[in-house]
Amino acid sequence: MDIRLMFPSLFLGAVDLHGKDKTLTIRGVINEELRATDGSTKKKPVMYFVETQAAADRAGQPDKEKRLVLNKTNAMVIAGLYGYEIDNWKGKKITLYPTPVTAFGKTADAIRIRPDIPKEN
């Protein structure tokens, strides 16, 4: 087991994808006040999914639902798929994938969104 999974978070991270693509259904996006590691707070868009809500409900922990903090890169990919109006994203599917990214001189695993509408099974 990956040690990072032993420190659960409310937010989806690349480690949660286990090295694989994951297709999820958008439930909604809310602008939430999030606390940074330095203690400051900032409003950020946070995306919720049908599947993560169901998983949290099944576990009897609805307050532990995994969500995705949207960065501009991922938000613009989704906008390219479904338009700029976030209310129109509800019920739409996106595919998340883990990939290494370099920022501020460091490389870290991140979640990105595939730029294609997922095929229905």
pLDDT (tens digit per residue) in 60-104: 888 889 999 999 999 999 999 999 999 999 999 999 999 999 988
Structure confidence at residue 121 as a pLDDT band (50, 70, 90): low
Residue 36's pLDDT is 85
Q: Structure pTM?
A: 0.89
68-69 and 22-35 as β-strands: parallel, antiparallel, unpaired?
unpaired
Tell me the average pLDDT across 35-48: 93
Q: What are phi and psi of 117, to 5 degrees?
A: -70, 125
Tell me the average pLDDT across 91-119: 95
Contacts of 24 (CB under 8 A, 6+ apart): 49, 50, 51, 52, 93, 94, 95, 96
- Over residues 6-22, the pLDDT tens digits come to 777 899 999 999 999 99
Residue 17's pLDDT is 95
Structure confidence at residue 5 as a pLDDT band (50, 70, 90): low
Residue from 81, 91, 99 nearest 15 by CA: 99
Residue 1's pLDDT is 73
- Give CA–CA dist 27/63, Å, rounded: 16
| Tokens of residue 59, six digits | 């576990």
- Give CA–CA dist 97/57, Å, rounded: 24
110, containing H or E segment: strand 106-113
Q: Domain residue spans in the chain?
A: 3-113
Q: Name residue 8's amino acid.
A: P
